[in-house]
């Protein structure tokens, strides 16, 4: 079985410089999802791996650059010297076993960890070439630029309309016509408008869980951020709502840089352009999703993807 997988990978690499053809990639990910096949990693020398990483970064239109980032909660070192580039107009997935620091790393990107007593951050995070941890950084402006959607839907106890308009109003937008336009635009962007346009004054709590999560996305994009962080946004959703959310991410990445934390390996394979694998707070591997899933360079990545731990 392993010899067959190796032959398949070698053949596909010869046929195209990108490595694996689209159909072959789909077959391999399908096999990974069903647990039928195991991935035998294609090993690279250290210099070759470094060269490939440099080539990927060089060709990438970087929106976020993380440099030697570490995070502690009091004495607990949860993120350890992480460095990576996140591409503009793309979906980047952060995967790894429970407790590996995925959500903690995500919250570093809009300084949400500042709100946690005992949290300490070292390193740099550049968004559009500005270090968000510099002494003069404006956290208020940062959180306008970087929106966030949490694990469970958290609509406000207000109407559907007021949920979306809330962020606009607290940021000083008072023009009624402009607010109405932005509310409709945001609900359309969240693929929710057709479902709620006739009941905008109804309570947000009357919506289903999937609709509430899309409402929270509409609320986040209403203030027109540039980056959208999603912390396991489908963990509490049924399969149909999850599929709608994944379709929405595909649309949103045309206008936003999306970083998603997910426990669902198959979801990362479906929606992410790039994937970062964390373990015990360390960045083990990072690259284009098709490569991470079909030819991981680190044995730990292979073991996690094939269900040997996690």
CATH of the domain at 116: 3.40.50.300
Structure tokens at 35: 């647990």
Given strand 146-149, what is the order of strands in its sheet?
146-149, 227-231, 257-261, 91-95, 274-279, 282-288
Residue 6 lies in a domain: no
Pairing relation of β-strands 282-288 and 274-279? Answer: antiparallel
CA-wise closest residue to 39 among 23, 52, 17, 24: 24
pLDDT per residue rounded down to tens, the chain (310 residues): 444 444 444 444 444 444 444 444 445 444 444 443 344 433 443 444 444 555 565 557 899 999 999 999 999 999 999 999 999 999 999 999 999 999 999 999 999 999 999 999 999 999 999 999 999 899 989 998 999 999 889 999 999 999 999 989 988 888 999 999 999 999 999 999 999 999 999 999 999 999 999 999 999 999 999 999 999 998 888 898 899 899 999 999 999 999 999 999 999 999 999 999 999 999 999 999 999 999 999 999 999 999 888 6
Q: Total domain count for the chain?
A: 1
Q: What would the DSSP string read from start to end of 125-187?
A: EEETTEETTSTT--HHHHHHHEEEE-SS----SSBHHHHHHHHHHHTT---HHHHHHHHHHHH
Residue 9 lies in a domain: no
Residue 8 lies in a domain: no
Query: How many degrees, rounded to 5, is the angle at CA 127 between CA 252 and CA 228?
Result: 25
What pLDDT score does 238 carry? 87
Pairing relation of β-strands 91-95 and 274-279? Answer: parallel
In which domain, by residue range, is 233 found? 41-305
Q: What would the DSSP string read from start to end of 228-254?
A: EEEESTTTTS-HHHHHHHHHHHHHHTT
- For the stretch 30-50, pLDDT in tens is 444 444 334 443 344 344 444
Residue in this structure with the two tokens 């402006």, named with its chain if needed? 141
- 181 Rama class: left (phi>0) / alpha (psi -120 to 50) / beta: alpha
What pLDDT score does 117 carry? 94
Residue 4 lies in a domain: no
What pLDDT score does 44 carry? 44
SS3 54: helix
Residue 295 lies in a domain: yes
Which residues, including other chains, have CB under 8 Å from residue 176's CB and lie 6 or more apart? Answer: none
- For the stretch 221-273, pLDDT in tens is 999 999 999 999 988 888 988 998 999 999 999 999 999 999 999 999 999 99
Residue 162 lies in a domain: yes
For residues 306 and 39, is the Cβ–Cβ distance under 8 A?
A: yes
**Beta-strand (E) ranges in the chain?**
62-73, 76-87, 91-95, 119-127, 130-131, 146-149, 227-231, 257-261, 274-279, 282-288
Residue 3 lies in a domain: no
Residue 152 lies in a domain: yes
């Amino acid at each position: 079985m392993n010899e067959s997988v190796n032959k398949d990978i070698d053949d596909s690499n010869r046929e195209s410089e990108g490595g694996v053809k689209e159909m072959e990639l789909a077959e391999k990910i399908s096999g990974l999802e069903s647990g039928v096949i195991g991935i035998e990693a294609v090993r690279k020398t250290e210099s070759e791996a470094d060269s490939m990483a440099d080539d990927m970064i060089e060709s990438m239109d970087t929106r976020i650059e993380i440099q030697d980032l570490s995070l502690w909660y009091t004495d607990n070192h949860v993120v350890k010297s992480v460095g990576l580039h996140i591409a503009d107009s793309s979906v980047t997935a952060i995967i790894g076993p429970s407790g590996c620091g995925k959500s903690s790393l995500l919250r570093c990107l809009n300084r949400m960890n500042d709100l946690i007593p005992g949290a300490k951050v070292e390193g740099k995070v550049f968004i559009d070439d500005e270090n968000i941890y510099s002494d003069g950084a404006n956290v208020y402006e940062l959180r306008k630029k970087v929106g966030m959607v949490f694990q469970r839907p958290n609509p406000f106890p207000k109407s559907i309309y007021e949920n979306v308009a809330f962020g606009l109003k607290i940021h000083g937008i008072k023009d009624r016509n402009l607010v109405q336009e932005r509310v409709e635009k945001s609900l359309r962007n969240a693929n929710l408008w057709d479902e709620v346009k006739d009941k905008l004054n109804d309570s947000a709590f009357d919506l289903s869980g999937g609709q509430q999560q899309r409402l929270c996305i509409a609320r986040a994009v209403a203030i027109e951020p540039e980056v959208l962080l999603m912390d396991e946004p489908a963990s509490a959703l049924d399969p149909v709502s999850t599929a709608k959310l994944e379709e929405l991410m595909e649309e949103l990445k045309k206008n936003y840089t999306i970083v998603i934390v997910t426990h669902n390996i198959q979801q990362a394979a479906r929606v992410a352009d790039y994937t970062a694998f964390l373990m015990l707070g360390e960045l083990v591997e990072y690259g284009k999703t098709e490569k991470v899933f079909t030819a991981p360079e680190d044995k730990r990545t292979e073991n996690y993807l094939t269900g040997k731990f996690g």
